[in-house]
Amino acid sequence: MVSRVAATPTRETFAGLGDDELVLWYALIAVSTALFAAGCVRLVRRWHAGRAAGARVHVGRVLLTVATHSWIGRRAGATGLAHAAVFYGFVVLFVGTGILAFQDDVAEPVFGWVFWRGGFYQGYSLFLDVFGAALLAGLGFFAVRRLVGVARLDYERNDGRALTPKRARYRLDDWVFLWSLIYLGATGFLLEALRIAVDRPDFEVWAPVGFAAGNVLRAAGLDGAAADGLREIVWWAHGVVALGFVAALPFTKAMHMLTAPATVALRAATVSRRLPDEPATGYATFADFDRRHLLGLDACTKCGKCHEVCPARAGGMPLSPRDLILDLREASADGITVGLTGGVVPEATLWSCMQCNACVEICPVGIEHVPIINLLRRGLVEQGRVDDQLQGVLEAVATSGNSFGESRRKRARWARDLEPALKDARAEACDVLWYVGDYASFDPRNQRNTLALAGLLQAAGVDVGILFDSERTAGNDVRRAGEEGLFRSLADENIATLARCEFDRILTSDPHTFNTLRNEYPALGAVWQPDQVVHHTVLLGELLDAGSLQIREPLDVRATYHDPCTLGRYNGIYEQPRELLRRCGVELVEMPRNRSNSFCCGAGGGRIWMRETAAPGSRRPAEQRIDEAVALGELDWFVVACPKDVTMYDDAIKTGGHAGRIELREVSEIVAEAVGG
């Protein structure tokens, strides 16, 4: 029998290794480090080929986001917890290895300081064992998950193109990455168990997993010289793979360990709400790319979250945000310098995007899909490669100032019978300047809502004025469609018009217009501040709070509310419309996808002006959304707060086969009914 060792808690790092083996080990470390550095230099050179845009580094954000896993854990459930276990397990083991290297290579030989013993060693052992077990538990979860199969982890394309050899290898790459980590974690515990089986030190009870495993090995008869010989083999097998993992890190999926924190730190605070001003001509080559966006291509972990939430993909259109990013990454790595649009990324893919921001919102590593797609669209517009239907609308906007191609004199025709008449904001000062917007001005169905809102404002005694025929479309969807030149022209004219008016706030019922006036115009020289722009659902709530409006006829209806993308995901306005509806007596039933997870109607990004490109038999996003509402059971209304939503969902109720089962209502109509008129 070998007695237990009772000694000062510590251990020898290179026990049993001769001088020649130590020389070999440090030589391998040098090779691994050199390969790692070469890979990093290769990546940095690729990113450096893009444009320097002076992005701000958000240090606090990246520290908080990485530490809390808030982006990774968003709507992730058990997957988010498993990733946290893997992340913290890996970090603790990596730091633990660094502490050991510092002890052996710096503290003791240089300063004669030995701290890796006693209570420190025991706490160190416990900490690493607990987090090592968490690492393996998390990795086990992901292994089972991949074996069972998850739809968004399938790399099959939805644009009809075959998988390239490189794309087909992604599944293998993912498994190699996963099993490399499992191997390192398992062999680390095996190495610890073999050492304990040989020495049997009492103090190693502080390494509970290794201690228990070592006792199991001894009980199985593996101890003494046999265990000691196997320990050396496992030591090298573990160490060489660990160094190989480090060397391969800049070349494999493990790259996201470096790139993801960087993209989180560099992502624009106004991402998507305000599109980049430059380059005005868009992206045609990788030299045009913002370096931040080139970095984002390499940060993608292929998790498929963006693929899963994309309404274009769900609607049978040839776009997957994940595939688009990977296509660009592969082209960048291959040194492709021309043909990004139409070659690397098909034109139909780019025109499928609704700019709804669902992909950006869910991305755990901060990739800016929407700005990238928009800048690629600008490149197409610059080359004159535009859908003819969209081109017709853009020409109408350029000549008439609105997307309907109507005469400017007709813009305020909806208001001609109002008593009293609305103020002319060009000639008289007003508290609230109402920027009505195209659909609210010209579309007959939307004019009902516009008149309802006008009646509410007058009933509340709001000092409100409009621009009459001087109002032009704010240009949100013009810009989102990639026509930057026309957008700048519209913005310049509108800003100049508003600069001649006296007002305290700007009101609009169109979330698209709201976002542009609030987030983009101030950066282009507008004289107002973002918080001076208000959406009508917020203003109506304020009027109820002030007693200027009173609910006289509470409604008794069940309804569901749809969050407009540019009001919700872009600007965080979720609760005010809901509270407004509750005060009107509406019983709200939430759809499964609500608030930041809302599903786009399909109108955004200029899609409302474009031809359908969905695969035959597909249900449009708006039809899918109505399906989702109807599945909730008996509902009276499908409530919206956006003129384009009115158009899209009114049509979807009819084409989707739900006419008579649910009615479309806009918030203004509901409030007008509840206040008695």
pLDDT tens digits for range 410-448 = 999 999 999 999 999 999 999 999 999 999 999 999 999
Q: Taking 70 as the threshold, does the pLDDT of residue 481 lie above it?
A: yes
Q: How many CA atoms within 13 Å lie on the side-chain side of 392?
A: 8
Average pLDDT value over all residues in the chain = 95
CA 513 to CA 461: how far, in whole Å? 24
247 vs 16, more confident: 247
CA 52 to CA 230: how far, in whole Å? 53
Whether CATH 3.40.50 fits 545-674: yes
Which pLDDT tens digit goes with each residue over 279-297? 999 999 999 999 999 999 9
Mean pLDDT of 466-494: 98
Q: Taking 90 as the threshold, does the pLDDT of residue 534 lie above it?
A: yes
151 vs 263, more confident: 263
CA 14 to CA 239: how far, in whole Å? 11
**Angle (CA) 242 243 244, round 5°:** 90
- CATH topology for the 19-47+57-261 domain: Fumarate Reductase Cytochrome B subunit (1.20.950)
Element at 399 (helix H, strand E): helix 388-400
| Lowest model confidence (mean pLDDT) among 149-158, 467-476, 558-567, 575-584 | 149-158
Q: From residue 563, how far is each of 82, 233, 557, 590 by CA, in Å?
A: 30, 60, 19, 10
**Spatial contact of 286 and 340, defined as CB atoms under 8 Å apart:** yes
Mean pLDDT of 195-220: 91
Confidence of residue 2 (pLDDT cuts 50, 70, 90): very low
- 330, 336, 342, 343 alpha-carbon torsion, rounded to 10°: -70
Confidence of residue 223 (pLDDT cuts 50, 70, 90): confident
Q: Taking 50 as the threshold, does the pLDDT of residue 454 lie above it?
A: yes
Confidence of residue 3 (pLDDT cuts 50, 70, 90): very low
Q: At what angle do helices 224-248 and 19-48 cross, to 10 degrees?
A: 20
Single pTM value for the model: 0.95
Which pLDDT tens digit goes with each residue over 126-172? 999 999 999 999 999 999 999 998 888 888 898 989 888 888 899 99
Confidence of residue 53 (pLDDT cuts 50, 70, 90): confident
The predicted structure's pLDDT at residue 264: 97
CATH of domain 271-382: 1.10.1060.10
Q: What does residue 664 show for φ and ψ, rounded to 5 degrees?
A: -85, 130
Of the chain, the percentage scoring pLDDT greater than 70 comes to: 99
Which pLDDT tens digit goes with each residue over 562-573? 999 999 999 999
CA 396 to CA 391: how far, in whole Å? 9
Q: What does residue 515 show for φ and ψ, rounded to 5 degrees?
A: -65, -40
The closest of 298, 278, 296 to 288, measured between CA atoms, is 278
Mean pLDDT of 400-404: 98
The predicted structure's pLDDT at residue 524: 96
Which pLDDT tens digit goes with each residue over 27-40? 999 999 999 999 99
Domain coordinates in residue numbering, the chain:
19-47+57-261, 271-382, 402-543, 545-674
State the burial class of residue 559 (Cβ atoms within 10 Å of its Cβ: 0-12, 13-18, 19+): buried
Mean pLDDT of 554-565: 97
The predicted structure's pLDDT at residue 151: 87
Q: From residue 80, how far is each of 5, 147, 184, 265, 299 by CA, in Å?
A: 42, 18, 22, 20, 18
Q: What does residue 420 show for φ and ψ, rounded to 5 degrees?
A: -75, 165
User: Given this chain, do its domains 402-543 and 545-674 carry the same CATH topology?
Assistant: yes
Looking at the structure, give the CATH architecture of the domain made up of residues 402-543: 3-Layer(aba) Sandwich (3.40)
Of the chain, the percentage scoring pLDDT greater than 90 comes to: 90
The closest of 316, 324, 318 to 372, measured between CA atoms, is 324
Which pLDDT tens digit goes with each residue over 333-345? 999 988 899 889 9
676 vs 478, more confident: 478
The predicted structure's pLDDT at residue 677: 59
Q: What does residue 557 show for φ and ψ, rounded to 5 degrees?
A: -135, 155
The predicted structure's pLDDT at residue 5: 47
